[in-house]
Amino acid sequence: MGEFVLDRLHPLLQQLVLYQRAKREVKEVLAGIKEIVEAEWSSDTLPKQERAACEAAILIALRVGAESSLVTGCWRRDRTGYAAIVHACRDQRRSGDSMQHSSIKFHHVHPLLSALLSDVEGDSSAIFTVLQAAHDMCEAILRNDGLRKEFLSPRHVPLYGKLVSVCLEIVSNNSKDSRCRHMTLKTLEAVVESSKEDSLSLCVVLPGLSSSLAAPICESANEHLDIITTSLKIISMAVRYCLADSVKDDESIRESEGIRPEIRELLVRRDGNWKATSAGNITKMIRTLCSTLAVHHDEEVRSTLLMVVDSIRSDCKSAFNGTLDAFLMDLLLTVQATTSSDSEIAARLRTENITAFSLHMLEKLRELAERIPLNVRKGTTGSNMLFHQLAGVLSCLNADVSRLATSRAPSLEAMFSALAASLRVDARRLLISRGQIRESSV
């Protein structure tokens, strides 16, 4: 059966290559290939080995055809047809793990993926089709041990960087079609996640990746919640995989003879200076994220941000050297649905440096004593969050509260005075609402 399918495919694949070189219309040829793939793949009658052989023949022909299409200037016309075939081949419901059984090498898929990434302009439908195919190819590469190793190799930093760049360009533009943004974010997440053990290429794109993901979720209050939370998780992975205490620089990889000089210049040397500079830039980004998202209306966003900062702080202690502690302590006060994870973070911070922890919470207590009466008097919507932060501060101080009360600590007295002032304002508003006092007397 597999040979029969391959016999049917071969004439069309040969025709595709010849037509592309002659700059002839290939729409019907591509449609014919796609029709065979969809019919045979959905029947589940092809054994994995035979399906892999068919898939290899298709991908090799598509690579040659795509290269000709690019050279002859026909790629924008042809790209969706190529993308549709890639998606039909790589649809996980049909293809399973056939790539694991394939004889496909990285030089077979590299040019095709490059072609798909070369033009992502046009109408949303065409762009989505191309991005979907690019995602399918990435998934296939990352699922195959040999292909994944090649893709993550420093030799292929240009392709890795191009893929990340295209994804960031689309996901960071909130005017783009939401399907396209979600697809590129999904691709980006898979690529970063796969880079944990081979992060040299990821280090090259870390500055642009982190800033490009952070900017749109800070600038737009109407950003999709799942884009915000997924972007935060990707930032966390990227930072930890590049700056973790366990990450060691391998000089032999950078000096490998297989790496061209122009690519070697792009590679970073993960020494103390590079880590310190990178950590400084990431700290600035986290400060912006905290100032924007700590007051976000959605609890999941605030909770995700807390976990992101905590994971970076825990895995990258030497790089950040305590600079994230204050952010983490402030974020603890913004999460309203306290969980065991939040309590564990608070307990860990307190245990590691009880003096700094207590001083920070006392300073927050003093700050809240000033802000709460002003917010209550103005009737602003942020009062509820401030009262929640107050509850969080008292919870974090825990046993210290009784000691502070006994010693009549100024910060605690200031808070009691602030609460009393707030109650007086609320009492007068109640009297006004009942008509028992004129509004001007408040």
Q: Please determine, for residue 431, whether its predicted confidence score (pLDDT) is greater than 60.
A: no
Question: Residue 420 domain-assigned?
Answer: yes
Domains of the chain: total: 2
Boundary-marking domain end, from 152, 171, 205: 152
- Asked if the structure places residue 377 within a domain, the reply is yes
Q: Which two tokens stand for residue 109?
A: 């898929």
Boundary residue ending a domain (91, 120, 152): 152
pTM score, whole prediction = 0.85
Write down which residue in 152, 182, 212 finishes a domain. 152
- Which of 30-44, 187-201, 276-290 is the least confident region? 30-44
Answer yes or no: is 229 within a domain: no
Count other Cβ atoms within 10 Å, centred on residue 138. Answer: 24
Residue 254 has pLDDT above 90, yes or no: no
Token pair, residue 385, equals 């969050």
pLDDT bracket for residue 366 (50, 70, 90) = confident
**Block residue for tokens 């983490």:** 328
The arithmetic mean of pLDDT across residues 298-308, rounded, is: 93
Q: CA 64 to CA 216: how far, in whole Å?
A: 38
Structural domain contains residue 409: yes
pLDDT band at 350 (very low <50, low <70, confident <90, very high): confident
| Rounded Cα distance, 383 and 366, in Å | 16
3-state secondary structure the chain: CHHHHHHHHHHHHHHHHHHHHCCCCCHHHHHHHHHHHHHHHHHCCCCHHHHHHHHHHHHHHHHHHHHHHHHCCCHHHHHHHHHHHHHHHHCHHHHCCHHHHCCCCHHHHHHHHHHHHHCCCCCHHHHHHHHHHHHHHHHHHHHCHHHHHHHHCHHHHHHHHHHHHHHHHHHCCCCCCHHHHHHHHHHHHHHHHHCCCCCHHHHHHHHHHHHHHHHHHHHCCCCCHHHHHHHHHHHHHHHHHHHCCCCCCCHHHHCCCCCCHHHHCCCCCCCHHHHHHHHHHHHHHHHHHHHHHCCCCCHHHHHHHHHHHHHHHHHCHHHHCCCCHHHHHHHHCCCCCCCHHHHHHHHHHHHHCHHHHHHHHHHHHHHHHHHHHHHHHHCCCCHHHHHHHHHHHHHHHCCHHHHHHHCCCHHHHHHHHHHHHHHHHHHHHHHHHCCCCCHHHC
Instruction: With respect to residue 23, please indicate whether it lies within any of the assigned structural domains.
Output: yes
Q: Is the dihedral of CA 39, 41, 47, 53 positive or negative?
A: positive
Task: Indicate the range of 113-122, 182-191, 205-214, 371-380 predicted with least confidence.
Answer: 371-380
Contact at 8 Å (CB) between 34 and 13? Answer: no
Q: Which domain does 419 fall in, by range? A: 353-442
Choose the weakest-confidence range: 3-12, 41-50, 305-314, 433-442. 433-442
Residue 406 has pLDDT above 60, yes or no: no
Supply the mean pLDDT for the chain: 85
Burial of 352 (0-12, 13-18, 19+ CB in 10 A): exposed
Range with the poorest average pLDDT among 17-31, 195-209, 298-312, 380-394:
380-394
pLDDT tens-digit series, residues 306-337:
999 999 999 999 999 999 999 999 998 887 66
Give the pair of three-digit tokens for residue 392. Answer: 């969080």
- The percent of residues in the chain predicted with pLDDT above 90, rounded, is 54
* Mean pLDDT score, 281-287: 97
Q: Report if residue 324 sits inside a domain.
A: no
339 versus 54: the higher-pLDDT residue is 54
111 contact partners, CB below 8 Å, separation of at least 6: 63, 66, 67
